[in-house]
Amino acid sequence: MTQFLRTLQSVRRFADYRKHRIPNKDILIDISNVCNAQCYYCPIGLANRKGAPSCSQSGAPSFMPTDLFQKILQHLKDTQWLQPHTCLLPYIWHEPLLHPEFASIIRIANHFNCPLDISTNANVLPKIPNDFDASRIYIVWFSMPGFSQQSYDKIHKFDFERIKHNITTLVHTFREHGCIGHFKIAFHVYQSNIHELPAAYEFARSLHIDCQPYFATLISFKDIARYLKQELSMDFLSKISRDLFMGLTLNLKGPQSTCPWYNNGLAIDSQGNVLPCCNETDPLGSVFEVTPEKLREWHQGYDFCKECLALGLPNRDNAYCDFYPPHYNWHRQWYLEVLKQCLR
């Protein structure tokens, strides 16, 4: 009966969140300052390939201390940034599951009663204690650059079989600890891996989770700006033309006058600095100094924000692609999982 009531409470909590959620009203906190993947079109991954620290890693601790994480959340709650329907994402540029105290991070977040959105490349399994509470995890994204060892050799540089094993383990472990949220494979679509989508869908179906393909693209808005202004090297442009579907990922709507991050979103790095958005790494100021007015002032004083708006990047259409096969319905399987949780 206790498990049934806990599951029912989670269902009600997530339904309430979906009903009252404000688009882009999210808090992103990079609890890690390291990533172990080598994605070519991500500044962090490219730095890993070259064996050099990225601009965000230079001289900074590898992980956010748990006491700083708790202090930030308390401050955000006290200043009304963190509200009941605010989703908390403990990641931005780096891999959250590398944090040695990942379970403690989730425990602290649970104390503030906010839904959690987690993304991982699934190369590392965190230590999960017996009393781990996953009931507030709203969604878990598994970032995959394809569905073969060949694709992983090109991008993440991980062992593909290990990734599948870890995804299976994480789904089962989180479910066993009360998670009724959604699990999704974020399948990065490159020119070289479209044929691997059917196998990815079958794998997702076997775990009763979703597979959401989207076109891989340049991650940094500054790189996208350089691409649009034709400032990238010919070698880089040549590789982009062989790897990506840039024509399908840049559905720009012209210059913009506003940005969702001005009023809603808040991105914070592992040192407690506010970032311009989730696509840039230059710190604007301390999270303990931020107010809505101060945030707008910081944005207005940041030169690239003006360029970003002029190019129309903030409100461009997303890069998701509807490659769902016929009769692919993961929602029914999710409801079955919820029922199984109730009957445990």
With cut-offs at 50, 70 and 90, classify the pLDDT of residue 291. Answer: confident
Q: At 185, which CATH number?
A: 3.20.20.70
Of all residues in the chain, the percent with pLDDT exceeding 90 is 55
Q: Which residues pair with 118 in a beta bridge?
A: 140
Indicate the pairing of strand 285-286 with strand 273-275. Answer: antiparallel
| Better pLDDT: 284 or 8 | 284
pLDDT of residue 1: 45
* pTM of the full structure: 0.89
With cut-offs at 50, 70 and 90, classify the pLDDT of residue 318. Answer: low
Average pLDDT (250-275) is 82
List, for residues 171-214, the tens digit of each pLDDT value.
999 999 989 888 999 999 999 999 999 999 999 999 999 999 98
Q: Return the structure tokens found at 281.
A: 């790494």
Please give the helix or strand (H or E) that residue 144 lies within, else none.
strand 137-144
Cα 146 to chain center, whole Å? 17
With cut-offs at 50, 70 and 90, classify the pLDDT of residue 56. Answer: low
| Better pLDDT: 20 or 268 | 268
Q: What is the mean pLDDT of the chain?
A: 86
Cα 192 to chain center, whole Å? 23
Closest alpha carbon to 111 in 130, 88, 139: 88
Domain count, the chain: 1
> What gap in Å lies between CA 185 and CA 97, rounded to an integer?
16
pLDDT of residue 256: 81
**Parent domain of 29:** 2-343
Res. 106: pLDDT tops 60: yes
Among 34-43, 83-92, 166-175, 256-265, the least confident range? 256-265
